[in-house]
Amino acid sequence: MLHHLPLSWARAPVAEPRLHYVSLALSRLTWIPTAEIPFDIAFEQIFRDYLLPLPRGFVLQFCNEDLSRFVIDNGGKALQIGLEALLPLQQQPWDRPSLWALARRGRRGGTVQELLPSPENQRKLKELMASTPYAHRPQLALAFRTRFDNTVRCFAFVSPGGQWQAAVTLSQVSAGYLHTELLLRHRRAPAGAVEALITGAAETLLAQGLHTWSLGGVPFARSNQPAELVGQPLKTMAVNSAGRLFKFAYNYEGLFKFKDKFRPQWRPLFLCAAPNFPWRVLADLAFKMNYLQLVTYSAWNALTPG
């Protein structure tokens, strides 16, 4: 049975599955970017009861190889769109002197705290989102969870005065497996604040018996070792080419390098669709995610400096 879920689908204390549907205008497919799924329901049941009945088909983002193979075996298609950074917590893959030195430097300026979704903490998370270095730019939308509610956990790096310098929110993908939704840094956060946050939160999660922390996906990133699952090669090439062409708007290489310093295990991530995978779905998703708006904004600012 498949108890893993697409990233940003969360195991949550709900009685029935709650899927969030987004209609795509060009491909006519239905995109399900997020969902809340009871802990005891496997993906196969969701697929049978909620995805197959969709009249024109569906799109799922950030699926691992097992989920993607299941979709393919049941009449769908998949293409690799990036990589996922996995931290096996028991192995402490982030254990490197330079990283710990930076984290220790950061810890001199605050403490790592796990916080509950109270109105006050929800307000502080929104304030932090508005204070990041890139808050003025169009933000990617729908593809991950941005709310602080009972479907996520939140760790913050808090200064002695109570100001949030950095924060991370995590959703549960399966038993013992958490996925990063938001990773935020205040534009005036001290050096090492994010490293202190991640290492401190990892220590807490390990002590609580969790085994895997996903630092999240890096769209467009490719491994030197190709994925065993190969599908839709032309569309895969098109996605990767678009990532390289528009790197000035979305610096996926910088995101990869940041996550790679924690020495994660890199695993392929796929975009799945059924029953067909038309080219139009890529344009649909780029528009719905605000990726096209981000490219337009970045190109305009590059052409009109100052």
pLDDT by residue (tens digit) across 150-208? 999 999 999 999 999 999 999 999 989 999 999 999 999 999 999 999 999 999 999 99
Select from 167, 190, 215 the last residue of a domain.
Answer: 215
Q: What whole-number distance in Å separates Cα of residue 181 and Cα of residue 37?
A: 16
Is 2 part of a structural domain of the chain?
Answer: no
Select from 179, 199, 215 the last residue of a domain.
Answer: 215
What tokens appear for 218 in the block?
Answer: 């890096």
Task: Confirm whether pTM is higher than 0.85.
Answer: yes
**Per-residue pLDDT tens digits for 7-16:** 999 999 999 9
Task: Label residue 94 by pLDDT band (50, 70, 90).
Answer: low
With tokens 């190969």, the residue in question is: 230
Do 71 and 101 belong to one domain?
no
Do 97 and 209 belong to one domain?
yes
Do 210 and 221 belong to one domain?
no
Do 73 and 220 belong to one domain?
yes
CA distances from 259 to 84, 203, 227 (A): 10, 17, 20
Q: What whole-number distance in Å separates Cα of residue 198 and Cα of residue 217?
A: 16
Q: What whole-number distance in Å separates Cα of residue 141 and Cα of residue 158?
A: 27
Count up the domains in the chain and report the number: 2
Residue 141 lies in domain: 87-215
What tokens appear for 220 in the block?
Answer: 């467009």
**Cα 288 to the chain's mean position, in Å?**
16
With tokens 């220790």, the residue in question is: 104
Is 98 part of a structural domain of the chain?
Answer: yes
Do 75 and 100 belong to one domain?
no
Angle at 285 between CA 281 and CA 288, to 5 degrees: 135
Select from 198, 215, 232 the last residue of a domain.
Answer: 215
